[in-house]
């Protein structure tokens, strides 16, 4: 298990009001000192970004955006640019989440989003993952293509701001019993690290944290880290419920 795992909470649309965000932040801030050996980040919806940043001010919790626009020009109704996210206090952005890809965001769009975020000096959590597994191993080419499209010719100076979140789509939204098993996750972690060496120096590739996302609960979080050779977790629904999120932090703590 990583010495200091990174646990990222993606609130999606589960929290709707600033009051809910503030209540969650207050509760987490009270409990977090018990788990000093864990890095925690939260990605609220855009409407709660400023309120969440304010609620975690002067704490160790980092706050970021669930996505950013691929566009630079202002004539884009409904879009939120990386510059807008940064101005609201975001320090990182998630790009390529499977739910965004399912809505039509292609590898080319994800690459553009990644570049827009890096231009604003935001750190990146790049999500990759196959929709299904096959015995022939075709799913590996899906992951390879997602990484290649996003990272090819990426300036080496930017790689220190990169985190990879591997989320097998077939496990998302299901129970802990349906999550990827430790040995299979370890194989994917090794494969991802090896693939990263094609786009950056080996020493840099080995430093890129890999997170796992997909049916993460307190009951399997520690096992995923210990057996899966990953450096953290991307947590969805359970991260929007304070009690369940605290239980996950508690389960991976190694005081």
Active site residues: 97, 167
Q: Tell me the CA distances in angstroms from 120 to 114, 159, 210, 219, one per residue in order.
A: 10, 14, 22, 37
Please give the distance of CA 134 from its chain centroid, rounded to a whole number: 25
**CB 204 within 8 Å of CB 164:** no
Alpha-carbon 46 to chain mean position: 16
Closest CA to 48 of 76, 73, 80: 80
Signed CA dihedral, 227, 228, 232, 236: sign only: negative
**Strand (E) or helix (H) holding 183:** helix 182-196
- Please report the sign of the dihedral spanned by the C-alpha atoms of residue 173, residue 235, residue 64, residue 169: negative
């Amino acid at each position: 298990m990583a010495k200091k795992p990174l646990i990222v909470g993606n609130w999606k649309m589960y929290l709707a009001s600033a009051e809910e965000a503030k209540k969650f932040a207050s509760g987490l801030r009270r409990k977090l000192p018990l788990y000093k050996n864990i890095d925690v980040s939260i990605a609220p919806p855009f409407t709660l970004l400023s309120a969440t940043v304010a609620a975690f001010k002067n704490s160790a919790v980092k706050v970021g955006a669930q996505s950013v626009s691929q566009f630079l020009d202002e004539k884009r109704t409904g879009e939120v640019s990386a510059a807008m996210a940064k101005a609201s206090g975001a320090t990182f952005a998630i790009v390529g989440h499977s739910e965004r890809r399912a809505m039509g965001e292609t590898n080319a769009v994800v690459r553009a989003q990644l570049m827009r975020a890096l231009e604003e000096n935001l750190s990146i959590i790049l999500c990759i993952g196959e929709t299904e597994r096959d015995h022939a191993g075709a799913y590996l080419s899906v992951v390879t293509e997602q990484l290649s499209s996003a990272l090819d010719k990426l300036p080496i100076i930017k790689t220190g701001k990169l985190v990879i979140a591997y989320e097998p789509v077939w496990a998302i939204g299901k129970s802990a019993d349906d999550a990827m098993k430790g040995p299979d996750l370890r194989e994917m972690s090794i494969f991802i690290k090896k693939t990263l060496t094609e786009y950056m120096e080996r020493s840099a590739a080995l430093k890129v944290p890999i997170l796992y996302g997909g049916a993460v609960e307190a009951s399997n979080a520690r096992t995923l880290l210990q057996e899966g050779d990953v450096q953290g977790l991307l947590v969805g629904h359970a991260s929007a419920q304070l009690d369940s999120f605290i239980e996950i932090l508690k389960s991976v703590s190694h005081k």
